């Protein structure tokens, strides 16, 4: 019998953590119990994007999109929707601002402004079934490349497309390919950098989980173009699902003759190995990654020689980021002109972003380059939750910079972001609202890079430590005016004297917050005031005697008995000396009688 329904269960890591596997098995049981197994197919897909709302289900035809599905909802979905054709409205995606029910996926604003090229298959096909990938045109680009195109033609196409490295630096991909192709060495290597280390970034993981074959196909095309027969995919060990699906995909490609000694019976040979990294941030830097593949400690090396001349085990090496690899097959299929027309002239194509922080729709989005930050955060991201005010957006992870509200209309491309002191990076976007203290944010990111510094260069190893100490001094309320200049000059020194990208960009969060949020540093130092009321040394809890109704709730939750009073006889007293500023009292107070204040008393 013909199938009439495809039920796609998102099995990206975020949905798996919110128990999508249980939803899937419940669905399988229920569908089976009602004898619908022949008509309805369950498919596990990669990440669909709106991770905040997981587990999510997508049902075709119709594209009904269910969010936050629990195993308890399954019987109702099968009975009402699959059997009787009535979508279960309470599980449909509602947008908070309009409260309207978006019945079809294309009506969900989250998807409307996106243009999915790299992620087109993520959430639409079963990543563990090579036939579904082939059905969407998979491996056609490889087939055409091997049978119809010369390596030179492919490289010309890549150069003309204007594709730039999606790992962060934005180096033209075609030029990289050309450099490696021109090397005379007999053995050449192709590497996929999927060592995604930025906190909050999960673009590469989702691509490997949702569409691993697209990365394999891109790498194989490149191997043919530059004359390589061996490749590595370097993935971090924290991505077990991505690793499993990638290995399955490699195995399937080998069995189908799409990897191995005689690819598509053209005589071209290429094979892939998966290398698992231990999760050091610095291993995302290409020379450190190469050292790690070789079994050495992950530390960057001086360049030149560049990997294109001497990379893995001294062989000319072509190294690109996972998302870059995901673009290749589309460029080969549709041509350089098609790709160059998307995005902006300097930064063509789309970019995948991991949207997180203080934003309604957190998740994975893909937009044409040149889309503004405002469109990504407010139109796709749904704005700031709980009616709070937007304060800043951090792009590029811990090496990026914080961009304030006045630059929200900046188009996202490599140059525009750099001009603002931020970077594209691998594509993390962290949104901050009025409750985020920018000094504390800078401290958080610096704490990360200081911890992750490999220690090879003194400026990075010791300089980030010194900067971190200064930031701690300021947030502890002991800052001096001169600390701002110290931070700035240290930051510039670390950036200009470190060997690799980690050290060169580590001061970015500090330098950009000093530039755009200098007044917050000033307030911390001179008034001991933390605007966002985050830094514990600068806030105090105070009971408003007029509002206190002596309900006794605050006293019972206080872990250090800083609050005293008798039920029924207001006001209660709070002893500031004893208070540890945990905030529990303010949370439980039903009358909003406990205020959080910051700044010197005068």
Partner 1 sequence: MKLEELRQIRERASKELSLRKGNARIKVVIGMGTSGIAAGARDVMAAFLDEISVRNLTDVVVTQTGERGLASSEPVVDVLITGEPKVSYGQMTADKARRVVVEHLVNGNAVTDFVIEVRG
Which residues of the shown chain bind partner 1 in the complex (CB under 8 A)?
Answer: 1-6, 8, 39, 60-63, 83-86, 124-125, 131-132, 134-140, 143-144, 146-147, 256-258, 264-265
* Nearest distance from C-beta of residue 29 to partner 1, angstroms: 20
**Cβ proximity to partner 1, 139 vs 390, nearer residue:** 139
Report the alpha-carbon distance of residue 123 to residue 120 in Å, rounded: 8
In 322-424, which ranges are E strands?
350-357, 363-368, 390-395, 401-404
Cβ 547 vs Cβ 530: under 8 Å: no
**Least gap, CB of 69 to partner 1 (angstroms):** 19
Distance of CA 503 to the CA centre of its chain: 21
CB closer to partner 1, 2 vs 561: 2
DSSP string across 525-573: III---TTS--GGGEEEEE-TTT----SHHHHH-TT--EEEETTEEEEE
Kindly tell me which of 100 and 106 has the beta carbon lying closer to partner 1.
Answer: 106
What is the SS3 assignment for 573? Answer: strand
Q: Tell me the closest approach of the beta carbon of residue 268 to partner 1, in angstroms.
A: 12
Task: Between 217 and 531, name the residue whose CB sits nearer to partner 1.
Answer: 217
Neighbours of 317 (CB within 10 A): 29
Alpha-carbon torsion angle 106, 109, 113, 118, nearest 10: -60
Shorter beta-carbon distance to partner 1: residue 144 or 388: 144
Q: Helix axis angle, 458-475 relative to 438-452, nearest 10°?
A: 150
- 365 CB neighbour count, 10 Å cutoff: 28
Cβ 60 to partner 1 shortest distance, Å: 4
Q: How far is the CB of 253 from partner 1 (least distance, A)?
A: 10
For partner 1, the closer of residues 60 and 171 by Cβ is 60
Which of 5/175 has CB closer to partner 1?
5
**Spatial separation of the C-alpha atoms in residues 47 and 55, rounded to whole Å:** 10
The residues, ordered by sequence, that sit 6+ positions from 334 with a Cβ below 8 Å of its Cβ are none
Helices and strands per DSSP (H, E), number in the chain: 24, 18
Q: Which is nearer to partner 1, 82 or 390 (CB)?
A: 82
| Nearest residue (CB) to partner 1, 122 versus 376 | 122
Q: Is the peptide bond before 388 cis (omega within 30 degrees of 0)?
A: no
* Token pair for 382: 């749904």
Contacts of 550 (CB under 8 A, 6+ apart): 565, 566, 567, 568, 569, 570, 571, 572
> What is the enclosing helix (H) or strand (E) of 541?
strand 539-543
């Amino acid at each position: 019998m013909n199938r009439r329904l495809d039920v796609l269960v998102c099995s990206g890591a975020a949905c798996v953590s919110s128990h999508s596997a249980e939803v899937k098995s419940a669905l399988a049981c229920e569908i089976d119990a009602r004898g619908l197994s022949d008509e309805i197919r369950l498919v596990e897909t990669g990440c669909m994007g709106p991770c905040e709302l997981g587990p999510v289900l997508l049902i075709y035809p119709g594209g009904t999109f269910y969010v936050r599905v629990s195993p308890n909802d399954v019987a109702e979905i099968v009975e009402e929707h699959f059997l009787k054709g009535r979508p279960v409205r309470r599980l449909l995606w509602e947008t908070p601002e309009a409260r309207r029910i978006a019945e079809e996926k294309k009506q969900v604003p989250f998807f409307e402004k996106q243009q999915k090229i790299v992620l087109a298959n993520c959430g639409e096909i079963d990543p563990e079934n090579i036939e579904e990938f082939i059905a969407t045109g998979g491996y056609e680009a490889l087939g055409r490349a091997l049978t119809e195109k010369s390596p030179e033609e492919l490289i010309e196409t890549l150069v003309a497309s204007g594709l730039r490295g999606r790992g962060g630096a934005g180096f033209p991909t075609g030029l990289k390919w050309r450099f490696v192709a021109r090397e005379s060495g007999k053995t050449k290597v192709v590497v996929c950098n999927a060592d995604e280390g930025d906190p909050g970034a999960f673009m590469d993981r989702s691509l490997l989980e949702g569409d691993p074959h697209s990365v394999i196909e891109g790498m194989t095309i490149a191997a043919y173009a530059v004359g390589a027969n061996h490749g590595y995919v370097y993935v971090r060990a924290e991505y077990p699902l991505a690793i499993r699906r990638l290995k399955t995909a490699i195995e399937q490609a080998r069995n189908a003759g799409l990897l191995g000694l005689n690819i598509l019976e053209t005589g071209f040979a290429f094979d892939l190995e998966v290398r698992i990294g231990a999760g050091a941030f610095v291993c995302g830097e290409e020379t450190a990654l190469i050292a790690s593949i070789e079994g050495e400690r992950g530390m960057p090396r001086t360049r030149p020689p560049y990997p294109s001349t001497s990379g893995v085990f001294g062989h000319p090496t072509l190294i690109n980021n996972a998302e870059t690899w995901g673009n290749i097959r589309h460029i080969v299929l549709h041509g350089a002109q098609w790709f160059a027309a998307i995005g902006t002239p300097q930064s063509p194509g789309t970019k995948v972003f991991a949207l997180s922080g203080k934003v309604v729709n957190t998740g994975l989005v893909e937009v044409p380059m040149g889309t503004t930050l405002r469109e990504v955060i407010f139109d796709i991201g749904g704005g700031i939750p709980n009616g709070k005010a937007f304060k800043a957006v951090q792009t590029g992870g811990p090496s990026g910079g914080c961009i304030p509200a006045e630059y929200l209309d900046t188009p996202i491309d490599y140059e525009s972001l750099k001009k603002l002191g931020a970077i594209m990076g691998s594509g993390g976007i962290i949104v901050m609202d009025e409750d985020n203290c920018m000094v504390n944010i800078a401290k958080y990111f610096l704490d990360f890079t200081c911890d992750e510094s490999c220690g090879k260069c003194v400026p990075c190893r010791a300089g980030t430590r010194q900067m971190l100490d200064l930031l701690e001094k300021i947030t502890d309320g002991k800052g001096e005016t001169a600390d701002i200049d110290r931070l700035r000059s240290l930051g510039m020194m670390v950036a200009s004297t470190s060997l690799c990208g980690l050290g060169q960009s580590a001061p970015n969060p500090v330098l950009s917050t000093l530039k755009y949020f200098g007044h917050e540093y000033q307030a911390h130092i001179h008034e001991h005031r933390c605007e966002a009321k985050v830094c514990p040394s600068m806030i105090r809890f105070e009971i408003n005697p007029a509002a206190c109704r002596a309900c006794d709730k605050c006293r019972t939750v206080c872990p250090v008995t800083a609050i005293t009073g008798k039920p029924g006889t207001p006001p209660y007293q709070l002893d500031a000396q004893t208070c540890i500023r945990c905030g529990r009292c303010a949370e439980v107070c039903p009358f909003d009688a406990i205020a959080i204040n910051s700044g010197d008393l005068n």
